[in-house]
Amino acid sequence: MANPFDRVAARYDAWYDSPEGRSVFEQEVEALLLVKGRQPGRWLEAGVGTGRFAAAFGVAEGVDPSLPMLKLASRRGIHTQAGTAETLPYDDRSFDGVLVVTTLCFTTDPEQSLREFARVLRPSGAVVIGIIPSASPWGQEYARRGAAGDDLFAHARFLDVDQTVRMAAGAGLTLVDAASALLQPPGEVPAMPHQVERGALPGAGFVALRFENRRKRR
């Protein structure tokens, strides 16, 4: 099956330069920054797309199944590899951190993807995941677009926070922090620029979750 991102890579990337895209991106980066911090070490972005988030956080490596997306990410200085979240092309315990931004909803097997994130993570590492909660106004709007035949959202299966936390726990990952952004409904201007709050707030259109590897390894 053709990757839906292949056909829209340039349009997808250009959206982040629009007023709405810039606002969404800035809010999501602020939420991710709250839980990720400036943790050093070797990081991977799984589902790196065009590399905007990896570049914003200084993440040097990224994996994605879409070659047109990877081409754009490479132009941003990201060292890329073709691959999926379900089968990461990296050795065990290769990374100090894994960044995953609105990727789980596009995977065919989110539970297997989470196991892969844990597999490539060093024992003291962190997995930082950004999701669009399914019941939020943003999740419902994107699901509506998918049902109407949108090229990308027709392939998305949005998760809620509790589902994500349960699946991560099954992979040996423990939730240690959360932050919320997109507190306004789609199409509305946020009450204040970069409005982000701690915790996983009901109704938030974007929630950043930090997990740590609590499973001891010999």
pTM more than 0.85 = yes
Q: Specify if 108 maps to a domain.
A: yes
Report the C-alpha gap between 78 and 152 in whole angstroms.
23
pLDDT band at 217 (very low <50, low <70, confident <90, very high): very low
Q: Specify if 218 maps to a domain.
A: no
Domain that holds residue 194: 4-213
Q: Specify if 55 maps to a domain.
A: yes
Per-residue confidence (pLDDT) for residue 39, from 0 to 100: 78
Share of the chain above pLDDT 70, in %: 95
Q: What is the pLDDT of residues 135-174, one digit of tens each?
A: 999 999 999 999 998 888 888 999 999 999 999 999 999 9
Per-residue confidence (pLDDT) for residue 17, from 0 to 100: 94
Q: What is the pLDDT of residues 108-133, one digit of tens each?
A: 999 999 999 999 999 989 999 999 99
Provide the residue count of the chain.
218
| Backbone conformation region of residue 77, classed left if phi is above 0, alpha if psi is from -120 to 50, else beta | left
Q: Specify if 145 maps to a domain.
A: yes
Q: Specify if 41 maps to a domain.
A: yes
- Spatial CB neighbours of 185, under 8 Å, sequence gap ≥ 6: 137, 138, 205
pLDDT band at 1 (very low <50, low <70, confident <90, very high): low
Per-residue confidence (pLDDT) for residue 122, from 0 to 100: 94
Q: Specify if 200 maps to a domain.
A: yes
**How many domains, the chain?**
1
User: Which single residue is written with the structure tokens 């754009």?
Assistant: 72
Per-residue confidence (pLDDT) for residue 28, from 0 to 100: 96
Higher pLDDT, 85 or 124: 85
* 29: CATH: 3.40.50.150
* pLDDT above 80: residue 2: no
Q: What is the pLDDT of residues 34-70, one digit of tens each?
A: 999 877 899 999 999 999 999 999 999 999 999 999 9
Per-residue confidence (pLDDT) for residue 218, from 0 to 100: 39
Q: Specify if 64 maps to a domain.
A: yes
CA dihedral 148→150→154→156, nearest 10 degrees, is: -120
* Sheet strand arrangement including 79-82: 79-82, 61-64, 43-46, 95-101, 121-131, 206-213, 173-181, 197-198
Per-residue confidence (pLDDT) for residue 84, from 0 to 100: 96
Q: Specify if 114 maps to a domain.
A: yes
Per-residue confidence (pLDDT) for residue 151, from 0 to 100: 80
